[in-house]
Structure 1
Amino acid sequence: MKKPIFFILYLLLSLNVNAQTPALIPQPVELKMTDAKNASLLDSNTIVFISDSGLLNAANFLNNYLQQYYGFRLKVTQHKNELKDKTIWLLADPVAYSSLKGYQLMTQGKSLTIHAATAENIFYGIQTLIQLLPVEKGSKHLQIPAVAITDYPHFAYRGMHLDVSRHFFDVAFIKKYIDYLAMHKMNYFHWHLTDDHGWRIEIKKHPELTRIGAWRNGTIIGLYPGTGNDGKRYGGYYTQDEIRDVVRYAAERYVTIIPEIEMPGHSMGVLAAHPELSTTPNVPIQVAQTWGIFNKFNNVLLPSEATFSLLNDVLTEVMDLFPSPYIHVGGDECSKIWWGQSEFCRNLIKEKGLKDMNGLQSYFMHRIEKFVNSKGKTIIGWDEILDGGITPIAIVMSWRGETGGIQATKQHHKVIMTPEKYMYFNHAQFEKEDSLTANKYVPLQDVYHYDPISAQLNSQEAQYIWGAQGNLWSEYIANPAKAEYMLFPRLDALSEILWTPKAKQNYHDFRERLKTQFKRYDLMNINYSKRYLQPY
């Protein structure tokens, strides 16, 4: 009698395992477990059918993942007569699926179907399919659970930032970073290309910007104020061909790159090459070697015609390289004390009838915005661009808390929430960190519990919240492994609050699903803090 009992127990256990809800991040809008007999088996004999060539990006992403981690690829076809028993159907039709906000995914025995109105939403369905795959490397037969998923994003803007000025990251890592965003259904990459600590983008008309501005003669050691300076020449930049390559790569993953050219502050990189554009034209300027903003050292761009001429040249080349409709122009932490000491600036304020230095910054940003708009683009700026007023179409990125974003919604500006308290991933994840970080604390649970729509907003104002963004400033992030450590798993939390409906967000459940996600990161050789594996 023992054998039948053991067999029944084994069968029940197997059914329970098969019926387990997949640990998906971000959590889909609706996920139903269906008849276990509808589970799919994916292997090298499976064929991917695409309804049109526009779905090749999604199919290629899946194939690249399968090749890298399981050692095989799938045949992709648009011809139904080539199909065999096992098929992944990728079906995009703006008419037939016009009512879908996102995508639907369903496993049906030997076939798996993802359908949507757009190729972009099919791509998001592929990211979910990848998370349905086993997390053991090298398996040639991949069991996919029987599910029916309906899914679409909570916010339209789902962004992540990377500062490459303070520390430079090569193209290979930038592409890997974009892959990380794509796999978490993020759709905007804010590329912080210039700052006090280095100018990182080739400008053909002004090669001196990279020849001089891309290099500093030393870097602070340790946490500010530091224990000295390493005295080592440091720098790097991206050629325009490299930029085009990265832009193409991101577009294939439905990630829009928003380039940032900082102004009028955070400009020591450009002023090292052009000290004549500062408020002290006869004083040599070096690319910054220490972190932070200090009025005594951080000179700013003079609002002169020569400055605007150079910036117009720069922005023209930048806008030619990046098809994004948005250009980030900084606008934060401008040390206006330098303008106050400048006779030219004092005279300009009188000439233009400006009220004060905030008015001068507004004049500066209006000049830049008018030029950008003339090229068919829209500016994004940190919330300081509100000082003195901006045009209604400018987009505000609120980092000094939520106040700027709230103020901007009342003025009917589109807003991206990125408050330092919740969205700065360069800050420590733990009160006692494993390595050197910025001296603040942004734990995983705070990221997860952040709501970009403030309780202070009424329903009309809330409509102007476009989404949110995490920021990764690189003062203490000098290599890809450290960048990954600071990014994961806070990127998981960010992706869920931006994609998953508020009513379905649950931190305890999220932490449970992270256990599977960490196994996937192990499979992908992604660095993350192992402390999250401990009970909490």
Structure 2
Amino acid sequence: MPTRNPNDGTEAMTLSRTHSRYRWLLAGIMLALLAGCGERAAGGAGAAGTAASEAPVADGALIPKPARLQPAPGVFRFTAATPVLAADAAAEAVARQFAGFLQTSGLPVPEIGVGEPVDGAIHFRLDPAFDAASPEAYTLEAGPDGVEVIAGDSAGLFYGAVTLWQLATANAGDGDGPDGIAIAAMRIDDAPRFGWRGFMLDSARHFQSVEEIRKLLDAMALHKLNTFHWHLTDDQGWRIEIKRYPKLTEVGACRIPAGDGGIDPATGAPRPYCGFYTQDQIREVVAYAAERHITVVPELDIPGHATAAIAAYPELGTTDRALKPVGEWGVFENLFNTEEATMVFLENVLTEMIALFPGEYVHIGGDEAVKDQWQASARVQARMRELGAKDEMAMQGLMVERLEKFLAGHGKRLIGWDEILEAELPASATVMSWRGIEGGIEAARKGHDVVMSPSSDLYLDYLQTGSPDEPPGRPATITVDEVYAFEPVPDALEAGQRRHILGLQANMWTEHTRFDARLEHNLFPRLAAVAETGWTPAADKDWDDFRRRLPVQLQRYRRLDIGYAKTPFQVQAVADDDRAAGTATIELDNPLGYEIRYTTDGSAPDAASPLYRAPLQQPLPVEVKAAAFFDGRPLAEPQAFAFDAASLLTRSDEQLATCPDVGRLLLRLEDDGPADGERAIFNVTIFYPCWQWNDADLDGIGALKVRLGRIPYYFQLAHDEPHRRFEPARSAHGELLVHGGGCDGMPLATVPMPAAPDADGFVEIDAPLAQAGGRQDLCIRVSGDTRPTMWVVDRVSLVPAAAAPVEADAAAR
């Protein structure tokens, strides 16, 4: 599963604050200032839309933007009494789906009938003579006397229904009113730019219920996404029932999570994490997707990411060690072996999968297959000689070639991650380019079809803002606008090669995503940006226009109970304090550039509050309340930021920098306990845990108070293991190390660590500082091997000299 390559430059991105200002990100308490008004006051049902009596949104704030929209005079009024008619039974099915969209959204649901169009009606019609290059094309024409949706294929008619639903939800007010929902008159002639508009979900690391999968498929359809890539097998779990091999789910579908998360708090016994989809459930999902014109592409990952399968059937592996599905993350060396019996096993598994998934493609993975076990195996080396494979990558290529022929014999096409290019690749194989776009360029030049899915732009487990309210994940940040800016067709390709770019796909890996709420936070609204890139002509894409339409899309998410990320629509605060003067310079920012309004008098900001234009110079203490606004309405609940002399002496791990030259693979990690519910979250660089407070003002400071937690080191690094570093311990349990002037600077404190944290999972260490003073970059580390557990910083406070503890044995030596 291509998610964890530490050499990927995007992994080295951090949340570090390398300048001298006090970076106060969402400091203080977030207040629900609009209590009693609920979601509506913060951009709820009436916030981004328009009441029925008002003028409708002229273009419906459609996402994705149609290929062609021509406004017309007048308005169509839609109520529960509006006739919805279909020309025939096939069109009636789409009309009923449209009614279902309305019902799910809490809008008036009309009666559906079959018949010719009449004044004041909505009419759906399939026209065999409809001239379009794509079966997904449609025409929608709305005027004062009615709406007609026409297409040549049911897929196109379906997308026309989606557009009409969006028009209705754009203009639905608080009560819809006696005059109904207003839809501006217009003509839309629409078709997608790409045929592959995909989303991949990893169900192997964390398992989602069928109900959540159905909810995501609904959301995909209403974004006009048409390909659901389902990652079903990996080291941590095998999630699809294969009747011929029952142990794949009996054994391979359960793992023991690392640390306290894998222990039953009541009994102390191991607590497995299990889950798989029965074949009946798979059929249900596939049928549900097909009704929404979504093709499901299953993935069977080979030859790596195979630990769960080998744990179930050890004869498939290349090691004598007993394996079990792993409770760790990273890159593992366990590969399927190269024996004929193993290839037959894979073909047998594919036979059952083919019967379940009627789509054109089957994904065979091919990524991150570390070849150490193959290199060490005399039998694999002999097998390579038998088959004429010059090296291990060529051996993997022979496996891919065999499976390609097998799939072709069953009317299927093979697709794999871009590593499959490293060996001879069958001409019909399709490449999914995740390690940047270079693999896609190479594949297209060789005549292979390509789906662009670069980790640098389209990985949705990456965080989307620098807010501490972001859930666990990889703090390399991919913002909504960065997703929107991605262009799937590289300029480097010649005109004749560009036709091989089938489209794009966003990927959601779930190592750090235990809850459905976190999953939806990660996906939305970034999936809307993916959808527009996949559908809208490149020349018509416009970030500022998309940003204008996005608040209405949030309204749709609320109607559908989609837990979209609030963080891109919140305000962040940055404070630069002048301790001597007793003042603070406060900068406010919204990640997407919406206008900010604020107050300093304790009141909630509204559309009449001061507009933020420049940093605020304020005496301490001060409380700033701020919210991002669009069209006079807040996009999220206002937040309060309280600054005083004491709070400005503390930084959380999110506010600390990573130490220079050790920022590789910074992760936002969750604690391992409690077993259920919310857990503490820490930012940590796993190759060398190290935190830095840059330009700390140490005048008058006598000590640091450092709060730390401890979590399992649950990562396998394969060939990057030698890059893992730590400072040798000089005492039984290691020491808290504090240096001034950076990690190579002067030692300021060395404090022995306890054997274990306190009962709450944390420990606070007082570290008197030697020779402190002036402004310095404070480097904070804990010595000792990070395996099996590592200390992680939760927060650091500067303690004034008058209040600092004096412990001679804790001072730097």
TM-score between the two structures when normalised by the length of structure 2: 0.61
Whole-Å Cα distance in 2 between the matches of residues 42 and 16 of structure 1?
14
Whole-Å Cα distance in 2 between the matches of residues 146 and 221 of structure 1?
59
Whole-Å Cα distance in 1 between the matches of residues 246 and 173 of structure 2?
49
Aligned-pair CA distance for 1:220: 6.2
| 8 A contact 1:100–1:116 mirrored in 2 | no
Match of 1:330 in 2: 365
Match of 2:488 in 1: 452
Change (3 A) 1:147 1:245: same
Aligned-pair CA distance for 1:97: 4.0
Aligned-pair CA distance for 1:444: 1.2
| 8 A contact 1:396–1:408 mirrored in 2 | yes
Matches within 5 A, 1:4-83: 17-18=55-56, 20-36=58-74, 39-70=75-106, 72-80=108-116
Does 2:390 match 1:351? no
- Root mean square deviation, CA, Å: 2.2
Whole-Å Cα distance in 1 between the matches of residues 242 and 564 of structure 2?
36
For residue 17 of structure 1, give the secondary structure of its aligned residue in structure 2: coil
Match of 1:441 in 2: 477
| 8 A contact 2:339–2:383 mirrored in 1 | no
Does 2:186 match 1:150? no
Aligned-pair CA distance for 1:431: 2.8
For residue 329 of structure 2, give the secondary structure of its aligned residue in structure 1: coil
Match of 1:387 in 2: 422
| 8 A contact 2:76–2:142 mirrored in 1 | yes
- Once the two structures are superposed, residues 104-128 of structure 1 have per-residue CA deviations (whole angstroms, 9 ceiling, x without a partner) of 1111223101111111011111111
User: Structure 2: which 5+ residue stretches go unaligned?
Assistant: 1-50, 262-267, 571-589, 594-813
Whole-Å Cα distance in 2 between the matches of residues 143 and 321 of structure 1?
43
Amino acid at match of 2:511: E
Matches within 5 A, 1:58-457: 58-70=94-106, 72-80=108-116, 85-98=119-132, 102-133=137-168, 134-136=171-173, 139=176, 141-219=180-258, 232-280=271-319, 282-294=320-332, 298-434=333-469, 435-457=471-493
Amino acid at match of 1:442: I
Whole-Å Cα distance in 1 between the matches of residues 490 and 90 of structure 2?
38
Change (3 A) 1:455 1:62: same
Change (3 A) 1:208 1:325: same
Aligned-pair CA distance for 1:254: 0.3
Aligned-pair CA distance for 1:145: 1.6
Change (3 A) 1:197 1:220: farther
Q: 316-325 vs 436-445, which deviates more? A: 436-445
For residue 471 of structure 1, give the secondary structure of its aligned residue in structure 2: strand
Aligned-pair CA distance for 1:532: 2.7
Match of 1:461 in 2: 497
Aligned-pair CA distance for 1:75: 2.3
- Once the two structures are superposed, residues 469-524 of structure 1 have per-residue CA deviations (whole angstroms, 9 ceiling, x without a partner) of 00000011112111110001110100111111111111111111101111221222
Whole-Å Cα distance in 2 between the matches of residues 250 and 57 of structure 1?
15
| 8 A contact 1:417–1:467 mirrored in 2 | yes
Aligned-pair CA distance for 1:91: 1.2
Change (3 A) 1:221 1:43: farther
Amino acid at match of 1:258: V
Change (3 A) 1:160 1:526: same
Whole-Å Cα distance in 1 between the matches of residues 303 and 214 of structure 2?
29
Q: 132-141 vs 321-330, which deviates more? A: 132-141
Match of 1:490 in 2: 526
Aligned-pair CA distance for 1:30: 1.4
Match of 1:10 in 2: none
Amino acid at match of 2:239: R
Amino acid at match of 2:397: S
Aligned-pair CA distance for 1:100: 7.7
Amino acid at match of 1:495: A
Match of 1:7 in 2: none
Match of 1:8 in 2: none
| 8 A contact 1:19–1:33 mirrored in 2 | no
Higher alpha-carbon Rg: 2
Change (3 A) 1:19 1:410: closer
Whole-Å Cα distance in 2 between the matches of residues 220 and 361 of structure 1?
35
Identity %: 38
TM-score between the two structures when normalised by the length of structure 1: 0.91
Aligned-pair CA distance for 1:137: 6.1
Question: In proportion to residue count, which structure has more helix?
Answer: 1
Match of 2:506 in 1: 470
| 8 A contact 1:42–1:144 mirrored in 2 | yes
Whole-Å Cα distance in 2 between the matches of residues 522 and 15 of structure 1?
22
Whole-Å Cα distance in 2 between the matches of residues 334 and 241 of structure 1?
31
Amino acid at match of 2:315: E
User: Structure 1: which 5+ residue stretches go unaligned?
Assistant: 1-12, 223-228
Amino acid at match of 2:212: F
| 8 A contact 2:230–2:297 mirrored in 1 | yes
| 8 A contact 1:46–1:84 mirrored in 2 | no
Whole-Å Cα distance in 2 between the matches of residues 77 and 21 of structure 1?
28
How many residue pairs end up in the alignment? Answer: 510
Whole-Å Cα distance in 1 between the matches of residues 269 and 157 of structure 2?
49
| 8 A contact 1:398–1:418 mirrored in 2 | yes
| 8 A contact 2:104–2:559 mirrored in 1 | no
Amino acid at match of 2:151: A
Whole-Å Cα distance in 2 between the matches of residues 264 and 148 of structure 1?
51
| 8 A contact 1:57–1:123 mirrored in 2 | no
Change (3 A) 1:171 1:499: same
Aligned-pair CA distance for 1:531: 2.8
Aligned-pair CA distance for 1:95: 1.5
Amino acid at match of 2:421: L
Amino acid at match of 1:528: Y
